Amino acid sequence: MESLIGLVNRIQKACTVLGDHGGDSSLPTIWEALPSVAVVGGQSSGKSSVLESIVGRDFLPRGSGIVTRRPLVLQLHKTEQGVQEYAEFLHLPNKRFTHFAMIRKEIQDETDRMTGRSKKISPVPIHLSIFSSNVVNLTLIDLPGLTKVAVEGQPESIVKDIENMVRSYVDKPNCIILAITPANQDVATSDAIKLAREVDPTGDRTFGVLTKIDLMDKGTNALDVLEGKSYRLQHPWVGIVNRSQSDINKNVEMVAARRREREFFATSPEYGHLANEMGSEYLAKLLSKHLESAIKAHLPEILSLINKSIDEIEREMDNLGRPVAVDAGLYTILELCRAFDQIFKEHLDGGRPGGDLIHDILERQLPSALRQLPFERHLSFQNVRKVVSEADGYQPHLVAPEQGYRRLIDGALNYFRGPAQTSVELVHSALKDLVRRSIKETKELKRFPTLEAELAAAVNTALARFREESKKTTLRLVDMESSYITVEFFCKLPRVVENGGNQVASSSGD
């Protein structure tokens, strides 16, 4: 059975690499089907001390406020005696850590890489595997400590954010809840027990851990809790004696702390009869045995979900078609681009719909927009007389008011700018739609979604550049006509004015 937990550990790692870490997913995933032990407790409940006692090493960051800001998936692997202890992180697969102080630093650094040096939290877990002869095969998920108020540097939503993250794990039906509660606190007010009661009202999935038993007031004890009288669970409560802050400051070895814990329960008049079922070593064995049983019970479900995922991947691979050799990759890309180009050309030149829309823009919409320009107002009798009079200054013209006509013609030409730019935008939109259609109709591209996205992005970038160049060219043509007004304009202007419906003087002026 020991290899069974190891197998689940490897599946769990694979899920994380593929982006499935369960905590923030509302859809059924393989991770959800894998039984796990989630460690839940309030701040300063002794949660970190329990985990370090189970491992037998100091390796977790410590400090005030929220120290655990990302879930820590802790996978323990029992090795043979004499093999050196070491640890590995999933994000550093080729690096072994043999100094546990460096593990603590890497947990802090990896947390900061995801959340920054702020006090924010992240649902993306850190995977840590510890290989040691002093541990049992077990997987624990250390979650941020439940809190009641936000402190300086934390967002106001931190209390709810942490609760939602913890709840997303313990809500899963295959999750075993390790509820940490300090003995010097009323169990009824315990944050961990309160949350466990909400998601597991029958207590089938909850293991209660009572910490800081040695710190209770003289004359009091935790027998009612440990014996299940004050709050009953389906599984027995386990008492833990944490290392004191003084022990931590003095770097008291975990071996000595475990020995002191065993002596406390063995010599205690209150807890002596429970000594064999107390302590961190007993808790680790109890959880390991229960986790093995849970995995065995859920094997059909796990196997079914894995097979379903394999079938889905195989169907997707079948849809993708034949594999492409590495040395033929460039040729394949060119062939796909040519196929897209051919379809796009057919849309433009005919054979496929789409090109007719551009023809409609240039042959119908643009002339219609030009006919609706306000030439009647611009070339009205009053405006012509006003412009011609102003152009003459204080001296009357002798033959024809050339300067006034120039101003009238130049003003009329400027009206062409709006419809011209609008036509460019309409043609650009039509071409973008043809690109979208052509990519969709190039069925071979469906096998390569990344190439499909890159091709669409490259073509649309080119179209955007052509749009800007077309606008500049169109406006340049208007400017060219305005900068060199020919005799033809002078001949046509009086007739244009007369056709506008207003009486205007002839070219000699009136």
List of residues 6+ apart from 53 with CB closer than 8 A: 240, 242, 243, 254, 257, 258, 261, 280
pLDDT(374) > 50: yes
Q: Which residues contact 410 (CB under 8 A, 6 or more apart)?
A: 482, 485
Whether 136 has a pLDDT exceeding 80, the answer reads yes
pLDDT score of 314 more than 70: yes
- The DSSP code sequence of 236-263 is --EE--PPPHHHHHTT--HHHHHHHHHH
Mean pLDDT within 319-333: 69
Average pLDDT over residues 349-378: 83
Residue with the bigger pLDDT between 313 and 206: it is 206
* Helix residue spans in 321-448 (DSSP H): 329-349, 355-360, 366-371, 375-378, 381-392, 402-414, 417-441
Res. 499 pLDDT band, cuts 50 70 90: low
The percentage of residues in the chain with a pLDDT greater than 70, rounded to a whole number, is 83
For residue 504, name the pLDDT band (cuts at 50, 70, 90): very low
Each residue's pLDDT tens digit, 255-288: 888 889 999 999 999 999 999 999 999 999 999 9
Residue 508 has pLDDT above 50, yes or no: no
CATH top-level class of 36-299: alpha beta
**What's the predicted TM-score (pTM) here?**
0.63
Sheet with 72-78: strands ordered across: 92-97, 86-89, 126-132, 72-78, 138-142, 36-41, 175-182, 206-211, 238-239
Position 100 pLDDT exceeds 70? yes
Q: What six digits make up the tokens of 448?
A: 């390569």
CA gap 202, 217 in Å, rounded: 31
d(CA 126, CA 105): 13
Type and span of the H or E element at 325: none
- pLDDT at residue 24 tops 50: no
Looking at the predicted structure, is the pLDDT value of residue 389 above 80?
no
Dihedral over alpha carbons 142, 143, 145, 149 (to 10 degrees): 170
The whole-number pLDDT of residue 428 equals 92
Domain spanning 328-499, CATH class: mainly alpha
Q: 160, 194, 159, 207: which is closest to 35 by C-alpha?
A: 207
Question: pLDDT value at position 37?
Answer: 92
Where are the chain's structural domains? 36-299, 328-499
CA angle 134, 138, 141 (to 5 degrees): 120
Please give the pLDDT value at position 327: 64
